[in-house]
Structure 1
Amino acid sequence: MRDLGTGFGYLAKGQRWVAGHGRWLGFGLIPGLITLVLYAAALTGLALGADDLIAWATPFADDWSSPWLGLFRGFLTVLLFALGLFLAVITFTAVTLLVGQPFYESLSEQVDKSESPDGTAPESGLPLLRELWISARDSLRILARALLWAVLLFFLGFIPVLGQTVVPAIGFCVTGFFLAQELTSVALQRRRVEVREQLALLRANRMMTWGFGVPLALSFLIPFVAVFLMPGAVAGATLMVRDLRGENEVPPGEPRPQLDPNAQPYGPHPQPYGGQAPHPQAYGGQAPQPYGGPNPYQQ
């Protein structure tokens, strides 16, 4: 059953995967560090200039008496910074994925290869520039949706009681959903799944998506944590995509069956026309040759 625990399980499994592949952990930290520096500078500038910005935007309150002027503008300043922090959490993943597209593409592909029975990974077949364009375009689409939610939640935050309890909880669910979408898009784009199909897939498995994305959104509020969790989050999102697409042969946590070295040539291997190839004796010792060539059963 795909529930909150299943989604969180993939998040944890992704972290374990990169912990066991130290080279890929270091490789995946580079984009996050670059983005962190950019966002830290932006949030610092917002914190330093928020008071002046609110004062400029509310000239009608200049003549208000104390303490109402300070309380009103102080409340708006806190809301403005909270909105900026919300947008930073929402967009951090998108920007990091855009900056680190080649890094995370390689990481996700390696996870696919490690989980695939035949050691292969799906490939989009598109040039790198085309992939970057699709990633940027889809990120802008998701950002537009996230901004609409951010504006709505910003105004709902003025509602007494609900604005301080229910609205923040909804905000984390929205943030978690979009974080999961951005992270799973790395693996889904290689499978040529369009952004509308991605959203539909995640909505159909909303509890699993929240179980993956909401804990990640909460952890991203802690400085520097997002940088170190990003490689594992990409790995976990790839594992979750394999589940959502029905590509996992065994449930997470269970051992993957090993190939029997004494297995017959026509064992459980995939056949070119689907199904299991019949035993050669069914053809009187003459096995069909779909690709031509000598018959190994002919004496």
Structure 2
Amino acid sequence: MERSQVGTPERVRRGSGASYFMYGFELIRQPGLRTFVILPLLINMLLFGVGFYFALGRLDEMLTWVAAQLPEFLSWLNFILYPLAVISMLVSLSFIFSSVMNWIAAPFNGLLAEKVELKLTGQKLNDAGLMDIVKDLPRVFGREWKKLKYYLPRAILCLLLFIVPVFGQTLGPVVWFMFTSWMMAVQYCDYPFDNHKVPFDDMKWSLKQTRGSSFSFGMSVAVFAMIPFVNLVVMPVAICGATALWVDKYRDAYAAPLKDGL
């Protein structure tokens, strides 16, 4: 039996990537999707809470050391170091723990993306049973490993900027935020791409072709990930929004060759 197509609202399609992220808040409340939201939410609450508690305890020590390195004529920077450090810490933790959570919850995240796509298109992606999902786990975790290998060397280079005098304390957080925004787009948009077995490099290429949407989506994820309590639902919201973005902007380009081959 063919399902009726739901699609994304016109107001979302006319908007930027940020509008798709906001649409994710609507999608997570849809019947049939809530079940796939609960587990990632519980994982998010546990890991982010523990990480933030320990990171905040080290913040004062780090700021004391940084202040001691500043020359006298730059002592005024002490007044802006704390808010910049807190913002940087929140953004950093949001992605670091999202990465850990996405490793743990990767199979559930892929299922959530699949269910959202079904909700928006009315077309079922596959009829895989539980055993098929279990057999696919090595490939799913292999995909997460590719994302981690892509992220780590670039993250290290960005973090090294923070030890450069003046530049690191002023522009470093901006560079880190832009990089994190891009990685948020890569992380969450990858789930619907991966469900269709689109290679990782092809997925990155597609996101680069729509940099405006990719960055505005990723920035929205990064910003909301810094808001207490709201950050607990960012992961499922981002997956839902990214899947809607996939359906509208990328799906036809990759689904058409598959249909032609059937």
Structure-1 separation of matches of 2:175 and 2:14: 16
Aligned equivalent of 1:99: 104
Aligned equivalent of 2:249: 244
- Pairing 1:132–2:137 present: no
Aligned equivalent of 1:39: 48
TM-score (normalised: structure 2) = 0.72
- CA displacement at 1:188 relative to structure 2: 1.1
Letter in 1 for 2:107: P
Letter in 1 for 2:101: T
Letter in 2 for 1:28: V
Letter in 1 for 2:138: R
Structure-2 separation of matches of 1:134 and 1:156: 35
- Pairing 1:8–2:18 present: yes
Counterparts of 1:111-260 in structure 2, within 5 Å, are 111-117=116-122, 119-121=123-125, 127-155=135-163, 158-159=166-167, 163-164=169-170, 167-247=172-252
**Structure 2 counterpart of 1:48, from 57, 65, 84:** 57
Structure-2 separation of matches of 1:47 and 1:71: 23
Give the CA RMSD over aligned residues.
Answer: 3.9
Letter in 2 for 1:241: W
- CA displacement at 1:237 relative to structure 2: 0.5
Residue 88 of structure 2 contacts residue 173 of structure 2 at CA under 8 Å; is this kept in 1? no
Residue 4 of structure 1 contacts residue 209 of structure 1 at CA under 8 Å; is this kept in 2? no
- CA displacement at 1:5 relative to structure 2: 3.1
Structure-1 separation of matches of 2:81 and 2:174: 20
- CA displacement at 1:123 relative to structure 2: 8.4
Structure-2 separation of matches of 1:71 and 1:273: 65
Higher RCO structure, 1 or 2 (CA under 8 Å, sep 6+): 2
Residue 36 of structure 2 contacts residue 111 of structure 2 at CA under 8 Å; is this kept in 1? no
Letter in 1 for 2:18: F
Larger Rg: 1
Q: Which moved more, 1:235-244 or 1:91-100?
A: 91-100
Aligned equivalent of 2:4: none
Change (3 A) 1:80 1:27: same
Residue 7 of structure 1 contacts residue 210 of structure 1 at CA under 8 Å; is this kept in 2? yes
Letter in 2 for 1:244: K
Q: Which moved more, 1:194-203 or 1:177-186?
A: 194-203
Structure-1 separation of matches of 2:237 and 2:140: 21
- CA displacement at 1:187 relative to structure 2: 1.0
Residue 8 of structure 1 contacts residue 211 of structure 1 at CA under 8 Å; is this kept in 2? yes
Change (3 A) 1:135 1:29: farther
Residue 18 of structure 1 contacts residue 235 of structure 1 at CA under 8 Å; is this kept in 2? yes
Instruction: Note the residue ranges of structure 2 that are not aligned, 5 or more in a row.
Output: 1-11, 254-258
Figure out how many residues of one structure are paired with residues of the other and give that number.
Answer: 239
Structure-2 separation of matches of 1:180 and 1:4: 19
Structure-2 separation of matches of 1:149 and 1:82: 19
- CA displacement at 1:24 relative to structure 2: 2.1
